[in-house]
Structure 1
Amino acid sequence: MLDDVDQQLVHALQISPRADWSLIGDVLGIDAVTAARRWQRMSESGSAWVSVAPGTGLSGQGKGCLAFVEVDCVSGALLDVARAFTSLPYVVTVEHVTGDRDLLLTVMMEDVGTLSRWVVGYLDTMEGIRSSRTHVAGAVFTEGSRWRLRALDPKQVDRIAQDVPALEPAGEPDALDRRLMVALSVDGRASYTDLARTCGSSPDTVRRRVRRMFASRVVQARCEVSRPLSEWPVAVIVWAQLPPDGITAAAQRISSMREVRSCAGVTGRHNLMVAAWSRSVEDAQRFEAELVRTAPQLVVGDRSIALWPMKLSGHLLDQHGFRTGMVPVDPWEVDTGHGSRDATQP
């Protein structure tokens, strides 16, 4: 298990993922070198990591498409199919789940047209797949970057939160912004010097661009911790139905629940999808009952438990939930079939 200081360090990085070690050390009451060393130990062991992906600032401009894809595999083909999906830069999350699907994918692409071409030209032609169902996300009421370990006291939270840039209007990302998004997905705490070298720019320009992207929520970072170390080892996914005129108010209440990691409106046979962390399978059943108490008009249509989250926001996980590697997140480099690319690499 993570000790108290490790948990406080993770919580601090969940609030401000790129905060200086001097600030984090000051908030935690340790020196900056100790804070950096502790993070390096957790990062190298795969216990914790910082991931970055395109954020709500893009969707607010009508840019970007988020979708959830259920995949049924031919008997004996699940592992090969899952490995193929984990290698794709636009399939950001891959989970082996229970219930009426074998795999649940989270897919990020530039628009719904690209999603359609990918489903028809790539997904539907993959060997080992029996069937699939695609659900496009509408409003995202909460997502993983807002989840907190809650190891800091309120004064510590306030101090580290002062490092978070104030919200700014989002501008349309250009080629450099896209390269920076991809580079940050590999290491959300990469130095400005390293990012400048990778993306072909100057450190000062990169610093300004990165600050602006975070302030406009064009990108969103999350400090993840291996689930067994968080005391929330079980991931549960619930598909539900709410009256259309009540979905926003109900989803906002649901998003405030302690266990909820993400909550999004979706198209398809259900109009809401909720993902949460639970302490056990039995606790997942309690969570479902609490979900209905929180939103009395909600009707649960289906639910799953994640047996193995193989990939989470681009990062590859072993069967125990520890990070083993990563695939850069790139929604603009989509294979729409027969080896063709739908967009050029920025």
Structure 2
Amino acid sequence: MTDLTELSDLERRIIVALQVDGRATWRKIARVIGEPERTVARYGSAMLEQGKVKIAAISHRAGAVIASLSCAPGTIPVASQALSARTDTSFTYMVTGESDVVSELHYDGGLQDILTLQLPATPGLSNIQIYPILKYFKTIRAWRGGELSQGQEAALSPSAGGELIAWNPIGELGESDHLIIDVLRKDGRASIEAISRQVRMSETSVSRRVDWLLRGEHISIRALVDPALMGFKVEALLWVQVSPADVDALGTLLAGLPQVRYVAAVAGDAQLLVDVTVPTQRDLYEFIAKTNWGEMVQLRTSMVLGARKRGGQPAES
């Protein structure tokens, strides 16, 4: 179980640096944020060991959908756990409102078996709605739990593997690539030497393949942290109904707001799904009331009660 006591200022700055580049060395992070390397390494390593932050690779797949589930009484934990156990889900939240569980699912190829056989077999399911994702405006890869200066962010930004809102993987994956990805899913900071030992390849070959996987848009490296640890104790999903002509402008506006962790255009009775994290419910009210939503917008708000999975990794609870 992760200790949800809020992090210190130094710990938060280290995590923000990892959100920019999860594979940055402690030396590089220390230089950019202006702290002793030994101190940064000690605090950073401790947070990784305690599970307060995880660094993991996530594979880019051809398509994604949002599954919104209603469950029979008393079965919400079972249903959310079943979805989080799937290897193709990236996040799974227990929520308030019209649905009980919301999960993002990624896929290659067809959806028929997933939608007609697999998801309907979820334990406790009473009703399901599927929202195909049409476009990402922001993923959690771009969310920051704090602020760095423009110069610090630029100094830390990786040459490959940064925020992507669309991807077109180049080239076919080989058996060795899948092995490397499996290692990076478990530990996105695994050294080239450590990966080399596990996949039984030379360090030169591993280094070259990791770079190819990142530059070829096959994977991204993400820093995963519970927003509550960063002081954002309230999380909500906003289902936004807006005129089709206004979707792009509103999605772009929302993506630039620091309170927004994630925003995607979806197909269904809502046009945008927005994940918002703020310190208090009052802050959520202020965000909803003062954001320039434009005309003819309707919102449905679901509070996140708990996360079973974030960024493709089980969430500690």
* Runs of 5+ unmatched residues, structure 1: 56-62, 320-346
The answer to whether the aligner puts 1:150 opposite 2:146 as a matched pair is: yes
* Kept after mapping to 2: 8 A contact 1:263/1:273: yes
Code of the residue aligned with 2:205 in structure 1: it is T
* Alignment-derived partner of residue 3 in structure 2: none
* Kept after mapping to 1: 8 A contact 2:93/2:103: yes
Q: Percent identity?
A: 22
Q: Deviations over 1:82-113 (max 9, x none)?
A: 222222211221111000111111111113x1
* Alignment-derived partner of residue 196 in structure 2: 196
Pairing 1:265-280 to 2, within 5 Å after superposition: 265-280=265-280
The answer to whether the aligner puts 1:179 opposite 2:179 as a matched pair is: yes
* Alignment-derived partner of residue 264 in structure 1: 264
* Kept after mapping to 2: 8 A contact 1:234/1:279: yes
Cα distance between partner residues in 1 of 2:85 and 2:139 = 23
Offset at 1:290? Answer: 3.0
* Kept after mapping to 2: 8 A contact 1:95/1:103: yes
- Aligned-pair Cα RMSD in Å: 2.2
* Alignment-derived partner of residue 289 in structure 1: 289
* Kept after mapping to 2: 8 A contact 1:11/1:150: yes
Cα distance between partner residues in 2 of 1:54 and 1:166 = 11
Cα distance between partner residues in 2 of 1:285 and 1:172 = 46
* Alignment-derived partner of residue 118 in structure 2: 122
* Alignment-derived partner of residue 254 in structure 1: 254
Code of the residue aligned with 1:191 in structure 2: it is S
Offset at 1:260? Answer: 0.7
Q: Deviations over 1:284-307 (max 9, x none)?
A: 22222233x1x3036124220100
Pairing 1:43-58 to 2, within 5 Å after superposition: 43-55=48-60
Pairing 1:54-93 to 2, within 5 Å after superposition: 54-55=59-60, 64-93=62-91
Cα distance between partner residues in 2 of 1:216 and 1:254 = 28
Offset at 1:279? Answer: 1.4
* Alignment-derived partner of residue 330 in structure 1: none
* Kept after mapping to 1: 8 A contact 2:161/2:219: no
Cα distance between partner residues in 2 of 1:146 and 1:298 = 28
Which of 131-140 and 203-212 deviates more? Answer: 203-212
Code of the residue aligned with 1:73 in structure 2: it is C
Cα distance between partner residues in 2 of 1:95 and 1:166 = 26
* Alignment-derived partner of residue 140 in structure 1: 136
Offset at 1:137? Answer: 0.4
Cα distance between partner residues in 1 of 2:229 and 2:42 = 19
Offset at 1:221? Answer: 2.1
Offset at 1:237? Answer: 0.6
The answer to whether the aligner puts 1:27 opposite 2:22 as a matched pair is: no
User: Does the residue aligned with 1:261 lie in a helix, a strand or coil?
Assistant: strand
The answer to whether the aligner puts 1:2 opposite 2:7 as a matched pair is: yes
Cα distance between partner residues in 2 of 1:39 and 1:91 = 28
User: Does the residue aligned with 2:93 lie in a helix, a strand or coil?
Assistant: strand
- Residues 309/256 of structure 1: CA separation in 2 closer, same or farther (3 Å cut): same
The answer to whether the aligner puts 1:217 opposite 2:212 as a matched pair is: no
- Residues 86/8 of structure 1: CA separation in 2 closer, same or farther (3 Å cut): same
- How many aligned positions are there? 307
* Alignment-derived partner of residue 206 in structure 2: 206
Cα distance between partner residues in 2 of 1:221 and 1:247 = 28
Cα distance between partner residues in 1 of 2:135 and 2:265 = 5
* Runs of 5+ unmatched residues, structure 2: 1-5
* Alignment-derived partner of residue 38 in structure 1: 43
Code of the residue aligned with 1:51 in structure 2: it is A
Offset at 1:206? Answer: 1.9
Q: TM-score, normalised by structure 2?
A: 0.88
User: Does the residue aligned with 1:265 lie in a helix, a strand or coil?
Assistant: strand
Code of the residue aligned with 1:299 in structure 2: it is V
Code of the residue aligned with 1:317 in structure 2: it is A
Which of 126-135 and 281-290 deviates more? Answer: 281-290
Offset at 1:170? Answer: 4.3
Offset at 1:203? Answer: 2.2
Offset at 1:45? Answer: 2.0
Code of the residue aligned with 2:170 in structure 1: it is G
Cα distance between partner residues in 2 of 1:169 and 1:228 = 33
Q: Deviations over 1:170-228 (max 9, x none)?
A: 41341333333332121111112222333443322221222233234332222233322
* Kept after mapping to 2: 8 A contact 1:7/1:151: no
Code of the residue aligned with 1:98 in structure 2: it is T
